[in-house]
Each structure stands twice: as C-alpha cells, then as structure tokens.
Amino acid sequence: MGLNKAMARLSRNFSACRLTFVASLGLAFGASVSGQVEGLQSAIKSIYKENSEAVVRVIVATQKENETESDEPFQHVFSGFFISKDGKAITSSMPPKEKSRVWIEKNGISYLAEIIGSDTRANISLLQVINLPKNLSYIELEATEIEDLVGSFAVAITSPLIFDPSPSFGIVTGFESSFAKDVFPFTFIRVGLPIGPAEVGSPIFDISGNLLGISMASIPEIASSYIIPVKAIKRIVDDFLDRGSVRYGVLPIGFEERADRYNIERGIYVNKVVPGSPAARAGVQIGDTLATIDDQKVGSLNQARDLIFFKLPGEFIHFKVLRDDKELEFAILLEPQEDHLPIEAVSEPEKEDLEK
C-alpha cells in the first residue's frame, strides 16, 4: 500500500509539473507570436512613414480623336512615386503625349507634368514635374536581391481613388515571364496584393524597406498583382532618358521550356528559327537544348528572357547549345525591334520526332 501511495503522489506531482510546463510554454509561445506581430506592424509603419511622402496620384486627361475641343476629355487615374530630387516620377503607361495633359496631385496640390517616355509593353511611364513641390521626397531605384523571395512579406503604398497614400501588405508568391499566351519582356514578380485600377503604379517594398519594384498589372482572379523589378525599371528609365522609348531586342530564334525526352527534367529548347536569318545560316536548329547565354548557365525560361532583355540591341549574344550530346556555340545579333521585319518561323517538326 505504501508503494501505491508513493506512486500516486509521484503521478500527481508529474501531472502538475506537466501542466505548469504546458502553461509556461503557451505563455512563451503567445509572447513570441505577439512579439512577431508587433515587429511586423512596426516594420510596416516604418516603411510607410519613410516612403509615403514620395507617393502621388497621377491624373491623365486625354482628348478622344472624335471629340471636339468643347467635349470633356477622358480622365485616367493612377498611382505613382518620385524617383529623383529633380522631380522625375514613374507610373503606369500613358496615352500619346500630343493627346494628353498630365498632372500630379500631392497633399491637395496639383503639379503639371510632362511625359518623358511611356511603354505599353512593360506598362510604365517616366514623368517630369514642371514646378517642384517643396520638400520633395523620393524613392531611390536601388536594386535588391530578389531570389528566394517567395513567401516573404511585401508592402505596398498606394494612392487609391481620392484617398491619401495608404499601406497594405501581402506575400511574394512567384516569378513569371509569361501569363497564359502573353509573353513578358522580362520576369515579373507576382505578389498576393490586390491592386485596384487607381493603384497601378505603386511602389512595393520588402519587409526590410527595400524597394522591390512598381506594380504594373492586377490579377483580380487571385487577388494578386505583378511588379516590375527595380533592375528592369532602371534599364527602362535609362532608355527613356536617352531616347524617349524602350529599346527591345529581337532574336531570330525562339525558346520553350519543357520536359526532356526521358521526362526526367525540364530544359530550354529552341522551338523557332527564322528562315534565312543569321541564326539559320549559322546552323541553329529546332530541338537544340540551350545550355548557356553569355557563359551563364540557363535553368529556366525566366532566366533566358532576363539575360536577353538586359542585353542592348545591336550587341551579339553568345549561346551554347547541346545537340546529340555535342556542345555547339553561336554568336547571334540582337536586332533592334524597330529594324526587325517579322517573318514567320519555319514549321516545327512533329513533336514525336523532336522527342526521339
């Protein structure tokens, strides 16, 4: 009996200790979660405080071709933000200069602006404010590392409708250089941030306050949006300042990403060759496997499109391809888009022939 009493007492003591431990663990976990939430809240507030003064509302009044001078012009409203102390700002793409009047609204004051350059393909414009606001705040275009961002927090500061700049946050959800049948000129960042019509053109930051890019399109079906990364923005802005438009290069070959013939791994394959082009004359063939671009190993179609986009038109791109276990090298001119005459690609062989 004495042994049974001792065991019962020991069991009660153990249960009490376990309950105390669980309670302490719960309190510690609760405190940890509370601390993390407070940290996230503090980070969002800090990002908003440091950057909201640079965010503006952009209004574009466009006269339709069939309207008379007495007709009211149609207005578009976007978000945007200053990127330099001399009053340059970026926003969504604009209608042609000669048909538009643009101004920027900040703190209830309107500032007339002119369009330096606008590009519909990337959906971005560069503006110059004519009369600068006092104490102008701006966001520098400093490129940050965007790899391994999926799952990270993203913070937007938008200028929605008639409201003051407002913060919101979501999660980085992916990277794409195409959507359905639409092919992008470079890789966009996809974020779980719903962007309204007047919010396109907003700056998006990571949770450390680094600028990720500018929102350029909404994906309402999944409450998400696409971002142009800072590195691409800088390339586009330089083109606007240099010539008023974006320089795109065109290759006489095309690529696709698909599984290899053994269905073991994915690769990048040549799927188009323009007949009579330098690439065709050099011997590039449909079905060649892309290995490197300018000595950089290519593991995805996103990477291939980025490497091509950041190469200037008129320069040669060096490719290495694999064909029948042999490595072949080619140097192909990246033709300026405006000088390129579109030609139908040669017919593709039957897929079963490519996969043999």
| Lowest mean pLDDT, pick from 23-37, 249-263, 297-311 | 23-37
Residue 354 has pLDDT above 80, yes or no: no
Domains 153-243 and 249-354 in one fold? no
The model's pLDDT over 244-290, given as tens digits with 9 standing for 90+, comes to 999 999 999 999 999 887 778 889 999 999 999 989 999 999 999 99
pTM for the model: 0.83
User: pLDDT-derived band of residue 30, with 50, 70 and 90 as boundaries?
Assistant: low
For residue 353, the model assigns a pLDDT of: 41
For residue 205, the model assigns a pLDDT of: 97
The model's pLDDT over 138-157, given as tens digits with 9 standing for 90+, comes to 999 998 877 789 999 999 99
For residue 13, the model assigns a pLDDT of: 53
For residue 5, the model assigns a pLDDT of: 52
Provide the CATH topology of domain 53-129.
Thrombin, subunit H (2.40.10)
Q: Report, as an integer, the average pLDDT of 70-89.
A: 89
Highest mean pLDDT among 28-42, 92-106, 223-237: 223-237
- Domain spanning 249-354: which superfamily? PDZ domain (2.30.42.10)
Tokens of 3: 């042994």
Percent residues over pLDDT 90 in the chain: 69
Question: If one looks up domain 153-243 in CATH, what number appears?
Answer: 2.40.10.10
Domain ranges of the chain: 53-129, 153-243, 249-354
Q: Report, as an integer, the average pLDDT of 168-176.
A: 96
Percent residues over pLDDT 70 in the chain: 83
For residue 239, the model assigns a pLDDT of: 97
